[in-house]
Amino acid sequence: MQAILTSQMIQTEPRLSHNIIGVRHLEKRFGQVHAVKDINLSIERGQIYGFLGPNGAGKTTTIRMILGLIRPTKGEIRIFGEALSGKSLRRIGSLVESPSAYGHLTGRENLEVIRTLRQTPKSRVAEVLELVGLTDAANRVVRNYSLGMKGRLSLAAALLHEPELLILDEPTNGLDPQGIREIRDLIRGLPALGITVLVSSHLLSEVEQIATHLGIVSAGKMRFEGSLEGLRSKHQASLLIQVSDVAQAIAILGFNQIEAQAHPMGIQIFAMQQAARANRLLIEAGIEVSQLTTHNQSLEDLFLEMTKEA
């Protein structure tokens, strides 16, 4: 597959003062390990921003720096237009680790512990239980909750202090399909409550269903940032040609300045305007052409190409 990272994908400098999250040239080294190399993020109010990349791409390290849990080696982070501080962090809810709670306590009691620590109004416990759909299970001990219910309880805890920004790191990890759907539905409804969401995942299929905007990272570097529609617009059509001799067909087309590559079906060319000429050249050279098929590049194809390490 030919390179798709064109100049159109080059990031512009984020306007840090106008974003809920503005990150510029963020780097993090752990000894000789360069975990985050150059991350730029620009997240505006009301977005569900999907932070997407394979495991080990640098997503969690970036999130930990945004939350002030670890210090960046280099770069700038601004939250709500200001430098990272305790004041700005109090306006953020987060779920970075796997869902955890006291198994011997009820859902309501778990939230009451956190409410007391955060000094939020007592009424918030009932409000967030209703928000995440746990009102009927509020007085059941958590060890009897399903994984999906535990995930929703963790979200309720993150929402207790009415954050303006919610940061979720792989919130559906380990959940069954029903639990994944429950969390997904909850996240979709948060912008209507005035909550901007940053959610990381390694699964394009999950992020695609909830995100309005995407940041794709691989090997510690940003590969794409923009709207979901912007990513879809980069779908690339190609022509698949079934031929009798793949190596010879590629050589013939290459000699005639038509780039082609091997494909399970035969060969693949991306210069769609050259389709008729390619077909003629192959036939004139004695190559049997048995099938020509248009292939539209999927989001998954784009994602795999962007995250393929050099």
How far apart are the C-alpha atoms of 91 and 185, rounded to whole Å? 23
Query: How big is the chain, counted in residues?
Result: 310
Per-residue pLDDT band for 234 (boundaries 50, 70, 90) equals low
State the architecture of 237-306 in CATH terms.
Answer: 2-Layer Sandwich (3.30)
Cβ contacts of residue 249 below 8 Å, gap of 6+? 241, 243, 260, 266, 267, 282, 287
Confidence of residue 75 (pLDDT cuts 50, 70, 90): very high
Which tokens go with 226? 């923009």
**Is 2's pLDDT higher than 60?**
no
Please report which confidence band the pLDDT of residue 4 belongs to, taking 50, 70 and 90 as the band edges: very low
Q: Reply yes or no on whether the pLDDT at 142 is more than 90.
A: yes
303 within 8 A of 52, measured Cβ to Cβ: yes
Residue 18: predicted pLDDT: 58
Q: Say what the pTM is.
A: 0.75
Please give the CATH number for the structural domain made up of 7-232.
3.40.50.300
Q: Residue 141 gets which letter from DSSP?
A: B
- 18 phi/psi in degrees, rounded to 5: -105, 5
Token output for 242: 């079934």
Strands ordered across the beta sheet of 92-95? 82-83, 74-79, 21-30, 33-43, 221-227, 213-218, 48-52, 196-201, 165-169, 92-95
For residues 190-197, average pLDDT: 94
Inter-residue long-range contacts of 305-310, CB under 8 Å, 24+ positions, other chains counted: 305/1, 305/3, 305/4, 305/5, 306/4, 306/5, 306/216, 306/218, 306/223, 306/224, 307/53, 307/54, 307/57, 307/216, 307/217, 307/218, 307/223, 308/218, 309/218, 309/219, 310/219
β-sheet bridge partners, residue 94: 167
What does the pLDDT read at residue 98? 67
Give the domain ranges of the chain.
Answer: 7-232, 237-306
Amino acid identity at 146: S
Least confident among 157-161, 254-258, 301-305: 301-305
Mean pLDDT, rounded, of the chain: 87
Query: Binning pLDDT at 50, 70 and 90, where does residue 179 land?
Result: confident
Residue 169 to residue 44: CA distance in whole angstroms: 18
Per-residue confidence (pLDDT) for residue 205, from 0 to 100: 81
In this model, does residue 203 exceed pLDDT 70? yes
- Over 80: is that where the pLDDT of 161 sits? yes
Query: pLDDT by residue (tens digit) across 254-295?
Result: 999 998 999 888 999 888 888 899 999 999 999 999 988 887
Q: What is the pLDDT of residues 8-19, one digit of tens each?
A: 333 444 444 458
pLDDT band at 190 (very low <50, low <70, confident <90, very high): very high
CB atoms within 10 A of CB 245: 16
If one compares 142 and 99, the residue with the highest pLDDT of the two is: 142
How much is the pLDDT for 7? 32
Those residues whose C-beta lies under 8 Å from the C-beta of residue 191, and which sit 6 or more positions away, are: 46, 47, 48, 197
Residues 233, 234, 237: CA angle, nearest 5 degrees:
105
Mean pLDDT value of segment 229-236: 72
